[in-house]
Structure 1
Amino acid sequence: MNNQNLFTKLNEIKKLAEECLESLSDTNIPKNKQTIKKEKKKGDITLLIVNKIKDCDEFEEIEKEVLDKSSIPKRVLLPFYICHKYFPQQGLTTGDVEKITEQLGVRVKTPNVSKAITGSLWKYLAGDSSRKRGKIVVYKLNRKGAKYFESVLKLKEIGK
């Protein structure tokens, strides 16, 4: 294939691509539709978790043992525990934990969530990839973490 023939065919492809883009733009489909769906889904899951925390059976124990105390690790584990129990396929990022704790009125900022995870909570959580600065990691509570958090909540029940 010579250069002139190649140039002609590439121009035809370019024109075809431009026509396709024009016809797609006429159909009122918003650009970056996938991005909008992801943002809605993330906002929905944080709201679902907050509502589930407030409506779950163990809310009184959660309020007394986690929300009313100043323990950052327990506050960080709370959203993971609710996800583990009620939304088993859902993982959370440090930013999600900040949003959830903020809506519960006990905000733990993202850097503090990250420090708590790398400090004492790493044995209770499983990440989808290794932690690197600037990279988003999705965490889930493991079985050991679920047992630990349940023991935190049951301490008060034994005392009753």
Structure 2
Amino acid sequence: MSRILIARTLTRENFAEFGDVLDTDGPDPFPINGGKTERYHALAQAEAQGPNGRTILSIFRGQPYTLPLTLSLVERHPFGSQAFMPLSSDPFLVVVCHEGDDGPAEPQAFITQPGQGVNLPRNLWHGVLTPLGKAQDFLVVDRAGDGVNLEEFHFSEPFEIRLEQKP
């Protein structure tokens, strides 16, 4: 038996307690490159702590998932943040959890809108990269360095993630 988790539309307001939404809807850009480029400056701050910690950029190619989806595992990174910016306009699922008494608290699920990414602070429990519908590439900003920067948690009773029903 699964517990039900409803995935809501990702907005700056409903995601603020978990991290940053990366998109061009919020901050005012300023012109660079002779006015040919708009710069949306400092959308988030990357964290890279721990032994020999440094910030790196990578591309992840994620294989697609379909909803409803069973969530049985979340992970976190104690030494650094992770930012995920899709390189297409396709949606992806973001699952996050605050710290609870004995591990992650109840998860929250969000569906991104076109042009949105997220920045997850260090130590935030989150689901794995979850593109929806088709394979998808992501620009990922995270930490490299010494030390174990991955903790996993398996829920004793999984959650079933469903889409929010619009009226």
Same structural fold, with TM-score higher than 0.5 when normalized by the shorter chain: no
Query: Greater helix share, 1 or 2?
Result: 1
Task: Tell me the TM-score normalised to structure 2 length.
Answer: 0.23
Greater gyration radius = 1
Which has the bigger relative contact order, CA under 8 A and spacing at least 6? Answer: 2
